[in-house]
Structure 1
């Protein structure tokens, strides 16, 4: 023990500083190195975007691209389009002029580690979805100080292992995406249940945008 200090002025809680008397375990060193790398890259590569494809979902450990965004506390169904350290783009049913500038919380469900995280941010831009007047694409900018560490680590792992930035700053998956269009079309068919028509429309628009970018 090298030092002790009160925590937030509480008489019952203290912070204790410890110094190791021997070399730390390799697992701990590796974990701390990963945390440090994720924090560094979250600043250096803050604008590198990950296009959400089936391969990206699997490699990032995201359960699915369909999720929820809370707009002023109201849950709205949406589809993840791309992710980065600093923000995200989602597609949903809505009217752009009523959404821009709103505070949001984007929910992302992770499979490994198993967790449902909420990331606070703001809608900084809205975009029309081609041939889909009822849909809108939202550009969300996260609150930098409130991005969960587990999210940073997932994004960092993908960017450092599976992707490279292209000239436009968009992170491209190195794996072949030739079957993406076929899989997206199949998913859209599955969503044609009457209770899922809005999400199906968003999914189809997401597919079209993906084909244009490819």
Structure 2
């Protein structure tokens, strides 16, 4: 296998599942005929047992070899949305790390993503459903619990970036939460904020939503 083959397999292991067009965008975007090239490579990798394919979606979806995820799992759209968040981030920055569903002790926060870019660390929560205020308060309290637990060792606790079309009343002095509908919106707001300040500070750290 070449480096691109191994990179595709590594991404499938990280994201659990990826759509054909996700793989095209991430690994074949600079080629003259990206879709044709991707189809040939993915067909070969599937034929050789290096990856697995499901034809339940169009375009097809791909899984790492040995995946136990059901091919009609209701979790598939969720994981595909996490891939989309990755693609949005990489439109602007190359993440230092991008971890899917990091695990901490029981009772603490369960982020969808931990990532670092632009000199800042983030927990990203993808909210595809609408939750009650009580449930959201409990979710944020678990992040506060994580901050003061032995599970998290960094000096600066990550910002919590909540990707949601619903706005919640979040008031917690221990956790900084930004609510946006997309990574694109967040980056636009960060850049807009950085243009209006004269202080030489990192815009993400100083940025506050109105």
Normalised-by-shorter TM-score class: under 0.3
- Which fold has the larger relative contact order, with Cα–Cα distance below 8 Å and residues 6 or more apart in sequence? 1
CA radius of gyration, larger in = 1
